[in-house]
Chains A and B, each alone.
Chain A
């Protein structure tokens, strides 16, 4: 057997696999097991109940809107951080990670205070007739806030690696700035954007702490799926809670599978043949 540089591979491999099993696979297994204890009819009744479907709609639509917002704003932020040198750049760069570090409940309380109808932002906004707190708009803002770093941090390193000569080559060939962006830069950012998008969307689907403060949590209006699962849990209805959670789990897996597929397609050109 060839010598390895790192010693103790069998040991570390074993520990890692056991750890992954206990921390990741076991809870998911328990969830599926619990949900399965319901039997198909009960399961279907719970996951397709009117209130549950409404919560899926609120969660998915808000998550999609938040992700779309982050796609534009996150890419712009990554672009500015990579391409420009300005005073305070390092501070902005550090601030990007803040939503990761901040307890989501704190973010939720802060956003609610800001966007409540007597808050700094909420006051002026309600004066022109836009209500943010306790509406889906509030959910979108909370989701966008907590998932922003994903897009920035996946796009940033790819942008940094791009050879500036590619843009110059585009210029010498007569392309306009827009053509260079859409035909030269964007296609190369697509894999990173997809990765960032899927992470951002997944995080938004699962976000709980930041949202419940600002959402108002009206069933059928501003109740997210994670909250519904939590409510069932508080009612000691474990199987129902697990059933609703399993829907989110399936959605997350499906989305990761689709993005991986898209990413592999987008990265075809890097294969050696």
Chain B
């Protein structure tokens, strides 16, 4: 089922949560809504589900205008951040709930068979008689997914599904969710504030800031060609230096960078910590090392430029560290954005 949002707006009392968002999700696509807290991503998801209604704009499911269809008739599967399993029902009863209250009557045998299939799908065979309090967080979230899938939803919506889990469980679960999505081919929209999760899992990442879409594209597009300073900053660590642009050249002290097409005036130069080579001599931005932070796979070096701006860069773990060492920052893949 294809979903289309058309200029959707939502205001909470005085606070505007979503400003004119338009978005298309193709049938079978897995799309991540990525953004910091307060960016409106959960509100968008809840409007697609029908748990909130937009103040303006429209939401289409296929060709049908679904904007004012009630939640219970919308045919969506929703997975909540804190699972929202019914604590007084067993795992199997939780999964069967949607079928039990459905207008489409099924025999008990049909329901049991479907519950068995879903338990197998989420790899929880044998746990059907447990209560939610008796299983782990990761298992609970898988039950929640099975429960959402039990009603054959047209669309699957997940609100920070792995937010409450440990890092390791989280990584396993998202790979597994991707696999399930590929098997079932169901249109899926999920919300996260974790960029690694979005990049790992999604066909397309929609990045939001202050209730607006700031960039939308494949993980490769948003990583390799961030369209603005917000995306550059949000997707990973980034260094920022203030520069001046003059006739297509951005200059920082004696070093200049290509700033083709940017208007003259103050701008910002961004680069990733991995895109810096440290040179004892030669060209680059002069800097002084102040300290290092050791990481399992690299060494993060903190340095100061001559005019006191902090820069971080990654080196091999063998990098010899001596405080107050002077040298040059050779920057690759710089990105320059005009000040907003």
A residues adjacent to B (C-beta < 8 A): 163, 165-166, 168-176, 179, 183-184, 187-188, 268-273
Question: When chains A and B are docked, how far (Å) is the Cα of A187 from the Cα of B131?
Answer: 14
Is residue B151 within 8 Å, beta carbon to beta carbon, of the partner chain? Answer: yes
**B101 in contact (CB, < 8 A):** yes
Which of B70, B80, B82, B88 makes the CB contact (< 8 A) with A187? B88
Partner of A176, one of B72, B82, B131: B72
The answer to whether the Cβ of B76 comes within 8 Å of any Cβ in the partner chain is yes
A36 to chain B, nearest CB (A): 45
Complex: chain B residue closest to A179, CB-CB: B101
Cα–Cα distance between A168 and B157 once the two chains are bound (Å):
13
Which partner residue on chain B sits nearest A164 by CB separation?
B84
Closest B residue by C-beta to A269: B131
B71 at the interface (CB under 8 A from A): yes
**Is B148 among interface residues, defined by CB-CB distance under 8 A?**
yes
Q: Residue B98 contacts which of A165, A166, A168, A173 (CB distance < 8 angstroms)?
A: A173
Other-chain residue from B78, B131, B133 in contact with A172 (beta carbon distance below 8 A): B78
The answer to whether B151 touches A269, judged by C-beta atoms less than 8 angstroms apart, is: no
Number of residues from B at the complex interface, CB < 8 A: 34
A172 with B87, Cβ < 8 A, contacts A269-B131, A272-B133 known: no
Judge if B130 is at the interface, Cβ distance under 8 Å: yes
- B84 contacts A168, C-beta separation under 8 Å: yes
> Can you spell out 12 A-B residue pairs with CB atoms less than 8 angstroms apart?
A165-B82, A166-B86, A169-B86, A171-B51, A171-B71, A172-B71, A174-B101, A269-B131, A269-B133, A270-B131, A270-B133, A273-B130
A185 to chain B minimum Cβ distance, whole angstroms, is 10
B86 touches A184 (CB 8 A): yes
Contact A168–B80 (Cβ < 8 Å): yes
Of chain A, the residue at the smallest CB distance from B71 is: A171
Cβ 8 A contact of A173, one of B50, B70, B87, B101: B101
Complex alpha-carbon distance, A166 and B74, angstroms: 18
Q: In chain A, what residue has the closest Cβ to B144?
A: A169
Residue pair A168, B78 in contact (C-beta under 8 Å): yes
Whether the Cβ atoms of B80 and A169 lie closer than 8 Å is: yes
Specify which of A174, A268, A272 lies most central, judged by the most chain B CB atoms within 10 Å of its CB: A174
Q: Does B257 contact A (CB under 8 A)?
A: no
A272 / chain B contacts, CB cutoff of 8 Å: 133-134
Residue numbers in B under 8 Å from A188 (CB-CB): 87-88
Q: Residues of A contacting B134 with CB < 8 Å?
A: 271-273
